[in-house]
Structure 1
Amino acid sequence: MTQVQAKARKLTIARAMAESIAMEMRTDDKVFVMGEDIGELGGVFGNTRGLYKEFGSERVKDTPISETAFIGAAVGAASDGMKPIVELMFVDFFGVCFDAIYNMMAKNTYFSGGEVNVPMVLMTSTGGGYSDGGQHSQCLHATFAHLPGMKVVAPSNAYDAKGLMTAAIRDPNPVIFMFHKALQGMGWLGTEKDAIVNVPEEVYEVPLGQAAITRTGSDVTIVGITSGVHHGLKAARELEQQGVSAEVVDLRSLVPLDRDTVIQSVRKTGRLIVVDEDYHSYGMTAEIIASVTEAGVPMKAPPQRVAYPDIPIPFTPVMEQWALPSAEKIVKAFEKMKENEE
């Protein structure tokens, strides 16, 4: 996709999300925000900074610590014609409010025979690496993508974050907007420099369900989402030093899933590595591999996946870092593929 041309202006993902929300709130009185600490604080991860000052407590609502209550309220508001944006501070908290998410938010349009839309955005943080334990560190991409009725998007950079958020707010369906903590650009979380990119000042949309080729190559396709994209780009630079040309695909969206872009890339390269910080089994990595295999794409070696092992996320830093995906693991996966070819 050709990006909107504009004066160079680099933003973090956090600032890009807040800017998109503010722009939609200015033009549509039905848009409002709810969640924990999203008011004067501006959100723990910076997604709502500046909104409270501009729009006040009527449209930027700090809530009690009761995810079931405020997500249920958002579903009701959306069903009644409003466009709520609700933050689930950590995706791991979905367990206490999953009935509101899946049996209400995702299904009410179907239960009503298409008479009642639920145009709401549930934004939530993902990702580990901070010794926050198994209650605050998961990605769970596949958990939401597996369940029909919701769209699921996850940006890897600020340009996509703004455009995807705008598209999500305007979509008549419920959208899960999953942002990775390590990519937000918040100093205390560390900063992934490649996630801070030029972002146009004007309003624009990035279509939901359209992947992007972030690096072209001819020898292997590396498919990822959020942090997996950046691991893939780092691995591609390492592989380039070995004379290997790696193509990196950023899915950007899991539902809808742009299988065609992935399939076309693998047809060209003949090799596939899928990267995800979600769990190894039954996840996005398996879905991508299955999609390519079902399409009958000839491959030079069995596909590989680099994902989180099927264990609860450790608190101990050494153990957690051992478990996380990395560029090094992607390079080793490629080396394994080459061994299988010999």
Structure 2
Amino acid sequence: KTVVAMAAIRACELSGAQSAMMAPTEILARQHLKTLQSAGIEAKLLVSSLSRKEKQEVLEGLKTGTVSVVVGTHSLFQDPVEFADLGLVVADEQQRFGVSQRRQLLEKGKGADFLMMSATPIPRTYAHFLYGDIALSAVKTMPAGRKPVETRYVRGQSMKPVLKDVLQGLKEGRQCYVVAPAIDENLELDIKGVTSLYEGMVKVLGKDWTIGLLHGRMSAAEKEEVMTRFKAGDIHILVSTTVIEVGIDVAKATMMVIYDAHRFGLSTIHQLRGRCARGPVQGTCWLLSATKDMAAVERLQKLQELRDGFAISEYDLQLRGPGDLLGTRQSGLPAFVLGDFEKDPAIMEAAVQDAAAVLARRDWPPLMEYVRQARDSVRYID
């Protein structure tokens, strides 16, 4: 994805227009900035944690055109941001942004091209129906030298059965993620929290290994410091929530333990385990779960054999329906009384063609007014 984005940004830069690359988290935005700069593309960063002076310098450069490429978070589509000539908008992990948010940024240019990117695979029939006339491309090959993650389901709530393997990996110079679904422990729902896990691991392993903590309540500076230390190898085990789901790239972090794995969607687990496949060493992901729900157990066991993201999304779609495809029900996703995405691809395709014909003719004013109202009120299409 990053290579595709860089090619598009470079082409836009050569045409004389400006580019904006939007990421859902500051950690990912800063990572993209470093990648672009390492490829010789002069880019600036615009995120909320910058000082007022730093922000003002970037805003002035965008307005005058002296800044041609900017990378940022939600700060990019705020009112003070003006572009001299915005020609391209790139939204990475685009499912994290609402339609109105993307539109705000697009409207800062005149006829700007729009590249949406996501590592969450969606079945082609479903994607075509959902995204209409957007040109859809899928990159299904892994980078050279990468190996699919080996996934193992472990029954129980304790890391004890996998601890020997984790410690052996640490001795070999590898690093490990430990992921939990919540920041704080919830005894009522029997959910592990990262804070209590972190404290417990420091007590047991802290003498021999450095353990880090990462979650959404930490400040941007705190998160950045932890990730910098983890990338440098100063932190051996990183205990985290799903904030590491997108964009984290640490080649030596080839192990992951996910607590209460049944509480995550399949696509989310697939995204998470992809974090430990960023280098040439075989990655391993252990899915810990004490659930007695046999359907949930079957889903986790299925991940041991399913490695292709598109196959996982097809399986997820069959199990849970389109509304839950990305892990939580998304507002704006179509729900039908009679239709079925899996069983009725022909009628879905016909619906796409009919809608295109209606919009091309525009000869029924009441329907066009309905379309206009629907367009103005929609918040999410993914």
TM range (shorter): 0.3 to 0.5
What's the TM-score, normalizing by structure 1?
0.32
Higher strand content, 1 or 2: 1
TM-score by length of 2: 0.30
Of Structure 1 and Structure 2, the greater helix share is in 2
